[in-house]
Amino acid sequence: MIGVLSSLSEDLVAIVAKAGPAVVRVEARRRFPASGIVWSSDAVIVTAHHVVEQEDNIRIALSDGQTIPATLIGRDPATDVAALRAQVSGLTPPVWAEPDSLRVGHLVLALSRPGKTVHATLGIVSALGEGWTTPVGGRVDHYLQADVGLYPGFSGGPLVNAEGHILGLNTLALLRGIPITVPSPTVRRIVEGLLADGRIRRGFLGVGTQPVRLPSPVAQQLGQETGLLIVSVAPGSGAEKAGLLLGDTIVNLGGQPMRHMDDIMVFLGDVQMGTKLPIRILRGGRLRELSATVGERP
């Protein structure tokens, strides 16, 4: 037993030694520093959006002890991902792993660099799931949760598998203090978008809604029990231009039934700005067909 534990211990040390150099300290808030991950050799650093509280005077500390200035490339609050560019050259990015081969129970490490040295916590993959949408409308490709301790300074750091490859970016900000890992495919998609545009473009209709039960005859006709009652319409939005009114109930958008609070936001997440969508509404007890042009979410 001692030999098994000793071998496992040395293996964990090797994993930290392999992935640790790609973990940096991010000084972008007044409180405790956070962590980041080297993304590319041209000094792009990926970290958590919520730890970048200041957009000026950002500093990055590397594994060799250098502390260098960095600038904000862009951020995406909806997935809690931000990209920075450090004023340095010759960084070595780590290997990013796809989460497809992960299983609940696999050993993983969370790494951080809140000080001069790398910190690590050990745990297992505790939950895996399909793609999901964050409370503020960001699409995440896989649900990935590990029971690693994310102590102060761990946000923005990586979750690492047994090969020392990066599975994703750790954060406590997406689900009210629950440790979640933004998986590598999502990080890749967001960083590429930030490098291209400095922000992530998402569709916007311009309505505030709440779920309501449909009248029985309408529910039977449509095959759905609820719709989305419009409680606000943004001035100048696609919804206003389409003629949507307070009190209308949206039952279908772009061919998809609208039943729950976040259905519109989820649906528009993958729709290009400028797309014209058919909207089916209930107004005055009668079903009507309108169309609206998708704008860009502010």
Catalytic residues: 50, 80, 155
Cα–Cα distance, 230 to 209 (Å, whole number)? 5
Cα–Cα distance, 31 to 10 (Å, whole number)? 34
Contact 264, 258 (CB under 8 A): yes
SS3 state of residue 118? coil
Cα–Cα distance, 181 to 178 (Å, whole number)? 10
Cα–Cα distance, 108 to 159 (Å, whole number)? 7
Contact 236, 292 (CB under 8 A): no
Contact 24, 35 (CB under 8 A): yes
Q: CA-based angle 169:174:49, to the nearest 5? A: 60
Cα–Cα distance, 292 to 167 (Å, whole number)? 39
Cα–Cα distance, 188 to 210 (Å, whole number)? 33
- How far from each other are the two terminal CA atoms of the chain, in whole angstroms? 58
